[in-house]
Structure 1
Amino acid sequence: MTAPKDLSPMHSRGFIQKQNNLDAIRAIVKERQAWNTLLRDEGNFNDFMERCSALLEYVDKLKLDFDDLSLVHEAILEHATSIENELEGYNRAIDDDLAVARQVQRALLPEASGAIASAFDMAIFHKQLAQVGGDYYDFFYLPGERHAIGVYDISGHGVSSALIMAFLKAQFAHATKRLDSPGAIVDWVNRSAYSFLREVRRYATVNFVMFTDRFLRYVSGGGYGLLVRRGTPRSFNRVSNFIGLRIKPFHEFELPFEEDDVLALYTDGMFEAQDASGEIYSVQRLNEIVVKHSEEPVQVILDRCIEDYTRFRVADADDITLIILRRCA
């Protein structure tokens, strides 16, 4: 509880005197008999005039105080308006920068073309939680006329993750020109980027898949992959570490991958979303949809996955990347 403020004796006496003056004037004005008595008594009349004069001085002072407060109020409003306009300008500049960043990030994401487009039927869903984000994918052409796909998820969201995405994209582009196996490529990128990623406290999941005539070889560190071959699913072995977490070898695995086989590559964005009851969308649920529709065109498989996820979740909770591809003849 807050103690009441102490009024100084001077302040109290002044207030009481003003109140007495007001009460005396009010009594005389309301009562005709009191007014007549006042006019007949010079002493009372002079006292009344003094009270009126004192009250008028008090009213004038209040008016001056009010005028001063009005000026202060106008100054505060003017300053607040200036701050608001300045903040709006900053927000517009930030929005403009983010719009440019979003366009740049979209431009960094490749379209399937050339040998990759000829080798695979492919459908892609890519959505950032904010205007820019840390999910990305890329296509690579390796020595020996081989090609590869990489799917990555940088920790965090927003501009910082998008910048690290661009940094890692450059690292992988350099590595794929020098090395020819998924394990060696991812290991080189990890060693090259490790100190920087530790400094900025970021890491990245990775799915790096290289295709040969009848097989695929992959490294999976935190990413997700599902191969459906003649109706039988085979999930990627995710034992490798994330890029930027530690320096250790990345495990490389091989699976048969021939005509009409289907491969799904995806990040964990869907599996952080919840329905109205708090249940999380599961990897098993997504994989079952891929298997169920694996005989259909890849765009249909992708659409069925996104439709089911959209019906399930209340809102997105993370960036999302899902790629469905089928090997052509």
Structure 2
Amino acid sequence: MTLDEILQGRDPDRLSELSREDLHRLFWMYKGLVKRVERDTAYWQATNDNLRTAYERLDEQERELARAYQTIRQDLEIAQQVQHALLPKDHPEMLARFEFSVYHKQMTEVGGDYYDFYRLRDGSHAIGVFDISGHGVSAALIMAYLKAQLVQTMEQVSRPRDIVEYLNNATVGFLREVRRYATVNFVAFGERTFRYVCGGGYGVLVRGGEVHTFNKGDPFIGLRRRAYSEYELPFETGDVLALYTDGMVEAQDSAGADYSTRRLHELVRANAELPANQILQRCLDDYGQFRRVDADDITLIVLRRRAA
């Protein structure tokens, strides 16, 4: 009986029948198996040690990421509080003259849409609506920068065109350096009219059932130095004015169609007899049913002139 026959038959009781030569073969086969087992054991032990070290490093990195994420969350919460504080609060003088309602929503914790109410040097009231390019913290920082620049601008000039030109000239170098720009809608109210400057912003006036859209042909703030145009429209008791950024009208439905300025303007016109807050809510309800998901910051302001 040979060693190969015994191994094939798997009968260890017949090992005594092996020749001396086969016993030697069996011995060295066993030694080879022992070495292979030792080598494999050492390999897997080293692999396990490496994996253990890797998992320990991953755990430490996960803890570091968790700490970093917590820090970022805290910073974003503070930034959100700061940006919220920069937005206008109740404006009694504006409320005495206008009925208005505002919807303002940032896509993330902070964003680039910004609006504010102003009292100009000549005593008139004004509203500014801005949309800074980009999203998140960078856009929010630009927004804070523009707000600070506007405060200085108001001390120098009072006409809407002069205000926007002064602001653009003061900020264009910085904005081009950081590759950002901002749309602008600046509206100053007179006794029976308003004057506006529109650089890429959106505005619509509903008066006597007719829709008058803003002329938005002027450049965005931060693109280049040039003169801005100023326009005047009548704005009397009962007239409705809506100012907004592109976040709503460029939102899409599940088929990829835009919400559109035409749809929003028609809603404002169709509901122009309602109070300002109800007009705004009708617009938001319609938008909510239409859009698939918010893709940008949204600002919508609806105003109606009160009776003198």
TM-score range, shorter chain: over 0.9
- Judge conservation of contact 2:240–2:303 (CA < 8 Å) in 1: yes
Partner secondary structure for residue 205 of structure 1: strand
- CA shift digits 1:285-312 (9 cap, x unpaired): 0000001111101110000101111111
CA shift, 1:47, in A, is: 3.1
Match of 1:27 in 2: 7
Q: 1:100 is aligned with what amino acid?
A: I
The residue that corresponds to 1:299 in the other structure is 277
Q: What do residues 136-191 of structure 1 show as CA deviations (whole Å, max 9, x unaligned)?
A: 00111112321100001011111111101011111112212221110000000000
Aligned partners of 2:12 and 2:147: how far apart in 1?
96
Match of 1:264 in 2: 242
User: 2-side partners of 1:114 and 1:33: how far apart?
Assistant: 106
CA RMSD of aligned residues (A): 1.7
**Deviating more after overlay: 106-115 vs 197-206:** 106-115
Q: Which amino acid aligns with 2:139?
A: S
* Distance in structure 1 (CA, Å) of the matches to 2:192 and 2:13: 119
Give secondary structure in 2 for the equivalent of 1:48: helix
In structure 1, C-alpha distance between the alignment counterparts of 2:213 and 2:153, rounded to whole Å: 26
> C-alpha distance in 2, partners of 1:177/1:164?
20
**In structure 2, what is the equivalent of residue 315 of structure 1?**
293
Q: Cα deviation per residue 1:112-132 (whole Å; 9 max; x = unaligned)? A: 322112111110011111211
TM-score when normalising by structure 1: 0.88
Residue 117 (structure 2) pairs with residue 163 (structure 1) = no
Aligned residue number for residue 36 of structure 1: 16
**Shift in Å, 1:31:** 2.6
Count of residues in Structure 1 that have an aligned counterpart in Structure 2: 305
Out of 128, 153, 160, the residue aligned to residue 150 of structure 1 is: 128
Further displaced range: 290-299 or 79-88: 79-88
The gaps in structure 1 that reach 5 residues or longer are: 1-22
| 8 Å Cα contact 2:276-2:303 kept in structure 1 | yes
Name the structure 1 match of 2:118.
140
Q: Which amino acid aligns with 2:98?
A: F
3-state SS of 1:299 partner: helix
Q: Which residue of 2 aligns with 1:119?
A: 97
Distance 2:10 2:286 in 1: 82
Other structure's SS at 1:52 match? helix
Deviation at 1:88, TM superposition (A): 1.8
TM-aligned CA deviation for residue 105 of structure 1: 0.8
CA distance in 2, matches of 1:49, 1:231: 106
SS in 2 for 1:179: coil
Give 3-state SS (helix, strand or coil) of 1:145's partner: coil
* Maintained 8 Å contact 2:245/2:298: yes
Q: Report which of the two structures shows the higher radius of gyration computed on alpha carbons.
A: 1
Range with greater deviation from structure 2 (54-63 or 317-326): 54-63
Shift of 1:50: 2.8
Shift of 1:53: 2.4
Are residue 240 (structure 1) and residue 218 (structure 2) matched?
Answer: yes
Give the partner amino acid of 1:90: A
Kept in 2, the 8 Å contact 1:25–1:52? The answer is: no
Tell me if 1:74 matches 2:71: no
Q: TM-score, normalised by structure 2?
A: 0.94
4+ runs deviating over 3 angstroms: 23-26
Q: Identify which of 71, 81, 103 aligns with 1:103.
A: 81
Q: Which residue of 1 aligns with 2:175?
A: 197
Residue in 2 aligned with 1:251? 229
- Cα deviation for residue 33 of structure 1 reads 6.6
* Structure 2 counterpart SS, 1:86: helix
**SS, match of residue 221 in structure 2:** coil
Task: For residue 80 of structure 1, report the CA deviation from its aligned partner.
Answer: 1.5
Cα-to-partner distance string for 1:178-221 (whole Å, 9 max, x where unaligned): 21110000000000001001111111110000011111011011
Instruction: In structure 2, list runs of 5 or more residues that go unmatched.
Output: none
